[in-house]
Amino acid sequence: MPDHRSWRRRLYANLHPPAWRRRGLSPLNRFIALAIVLAVGLAILQSEPTLYVGNEWIFRALELVFAVIFLAEYVGRIWIAGENPDFGPTLRGRLRYALSVPALIDLVALASMFATLMGPQGAILRLFRLVRIVALAKIGRYSSALNAIGQAIHSRRYELSMSLVIAGLLLVISSTLLYLVEGEGQPDDFGSIPRAMWWSIATLTTVGYGDAYPITPLGKILAGLTALTGIGLIAMPTGILASAFSDALQRQREAREESIKKREET
């Protein structure tokens, strides 16, 4: 069947991003990306009772639409796995694709969607909704700009994880000090190191909810020092990332100059 094969090849080019020859995403993949964002948005809005109650049928209808779209996409992906040299046209190749991580994520997202449609409403379904949101991560698959950020983070992974370790140390030290100073007076907020940690993380990250704060003069002085340290905690990873991005840029520029020089020499 040459007709069947040519259709499969066309769908493969449209559905499998690396097989698309033009720049960017194919129209079909753009449509799927949009559908994922909208489906996640729907799941988010559905959790709000004031929106959901009374409009159940709208949500169910839209869910059904998305379920059909993603089921069609899933079946399509299984079908075109035959075109993919990584899997091959045999049944075994398709099974191997169906067991690959992206395909399993698709399946779980689909399953949670049908669970919402058929199963009883309840607390257990909340967890399925969470899985559905994971589907949004698929957009990352489409993006190459994300790689640039990922590489910058990867090239400084030791320094960045060291600033996490320093953050952890500061968290332990400041929580312990505040527990010692404020523990007697405010047992609810500072009566143990884990309790003081809640205050400490809010202060070190400069969030500052204001539900817990020291009231003794010494506690306030220590809290002030903790807040100042928090600025350092922001400055360290920012400085590390800034240098990583600068470095990546300069390497790119030098590589370009190198290639221009070589062309001029020949």
Site for a second copy in 22-81 (CB under 8 A): 40, 43-45, 47-49
CB of 219 to a second copy, least distance (A): 10
Rounded Cα–Cα distance for residues 91 and 79 (Å):
10
What is the residue type of 195?
R
Is 87 or 190 the residue whose CB approaches a second copy more closely?
Answer: 190
Local structure of 87: helix, strand or coil = coil
Minimum CB separation of residue 99 from a second copy in Å reads: 26
Count of other CB atoms within 10 angstroms of residue 235: 11
Residue 128 in the binding site for a second copy (CB under 8 A): no
Joined tokens for residue 31 = 């449509």
Q: Which span (66-74, 83-91, 109-117, 178-186) binds a second copy, by CB under 8 A?
A: 178-186
Member of 13, 80, 109, 152 binding a second copy (CB under 8 A):
152
Identify residues 191-230 at the interface with a second copy (CB under 8 A).
Answer: 191-195, 197-198, 201-203, 205-211, 213, 217, 220, 223-224, 227-228, 230
- Size of the chain, expressed as the number of residues it contains: 266
- Do 204 and 170 meet the contact criterion of CB atoms below 8 Å apart? yes
Contacts of 194 (CB under 8 A, 6+ apart): 175
Choose which of 67, 149, 170, 216 interacts with a second copy (CB under 8 A): 149
Report helix, strand or coil for 233.
helix
The site for a second copy, by CB under 8 A, has a size of 85
Q: How far apart are the first and last CA of the chain?
A: 51
Taking CB under 8 A as the binding criterion, the range among 24-32, 67-75, 87-95, 247-255 that sits at the site for a second copy is: 247-255
